[in-house]
Amino acid sequence: MYDSRVLIFGVGALASLFAGLMQKRNVLRQLTLFGHWRQQIRAMNQGLIFRGLDGSESKIKVPATDQIQSLADFDFVLILTKCYQTAVIAPLIEQVLSPNGVVFTLQNGLGNDKILAAHVREAKISQGVTTQAALLEGVGVIRHTGEGPTYLADRAHGKAQLFNEILNACGIASEISRDANSIIWGKLAVNAGINPLTALLEVRNGQLLNNNVWTKVLHGAALEARNVALAQKVQLPYADVIARVNEICKMTSNNFSSMLQDIQRGAKTEIDFICGAIVTAGKRAGVQTPINSFLHDHVRQKELGKPFDPTELNRLPL
């Protein structure tokens, strides 16, 4: 048992997955979730239906609330909201964090740490990435759809080491990375092709490798992200970005990406923080990013209800 209190911001798929995995092991003094989706919060308090990778099903009570004023003095705050929600929750963090508490963000995309740093001392912020995957199959029903390592940046004066230990004790394989930019850009390069393409085409991840044009767009988006990273002297955490993208597509072949899930339920996507961020960084670094620009613009249009014509992909410089 760890004498630690953990607050998770978010009650969506990834937050529900982490909460279910952490609560099942019962190694924390306290675990609480904060969010605004009242139906989901009610369901979690009554019992989250957790469907595991092995086909098992269990019901786990997870304390969740939408009353921020009732929360205080948490040792660790884990942010698992969508990127566009970071600016909304950032001003709330100091009031729930203990004096020596630390904030971890495992969100997608770029820039979350900078948004948080406007409200929380930078020394208290540690950024990372996760390759865990989940699907909300209904209110209060979460399915674990993919398992992979979580990486925490080696910051926060040793507190990252303790949180890393807690995650592993909860069955969430986690490692400490000494190069936060490398792991963040490494995931960004993979997400740049998979997420927007699956959202536009409305296909599972693995199907992107079954069509020659789709695969070329997938690879092109990842290569652009790699080039922008290298222009900023950031080395990706793997040698071959195309091999890595192919590997992830195969490993998650049956998964519906989080961006596709957002499109299907009519929600805002994280495209601005993924392809949009790559385009912006590319302009600063003098690197052309036509594929990421195309994907960014068309996902934004699809958010607004405009259907996507797959033949549009043929006019990209592949």
| C-alpha closest to that of 190 among 133, 267, 135 | 133
3-state class (DSSP) for residue 53: coil
Count Cβ atoms within 10 A of the Cβ of residue 169 and give its class: 0-12 exposed, 13-18 middle, 19 or more buried. middle
| DSSP-derived pairing of the beta strands 57-60 and 48-51 | antiparallel
Sheet-wide strand order for 174-177: 64-65, 28-34, 2-9, 74-79, 97-105, 125-130, 150-153, 174-177
User: Out of 82, 124, 159, 187, which one is annotated catalytic?
Assistant: 187
Task: Report the DSSP beta bridge partners of residue 126.
Answer: 104
Active-site residue, 187 included: yes
Q: Give the tokens for residue 102.
A: 């630390």
- DSSP letter string over 214-245? HHHHHHHHHHHHHHHHHHTT---SSS-HHHHH
User: Catalytic residue numbers?
Assistant: 187
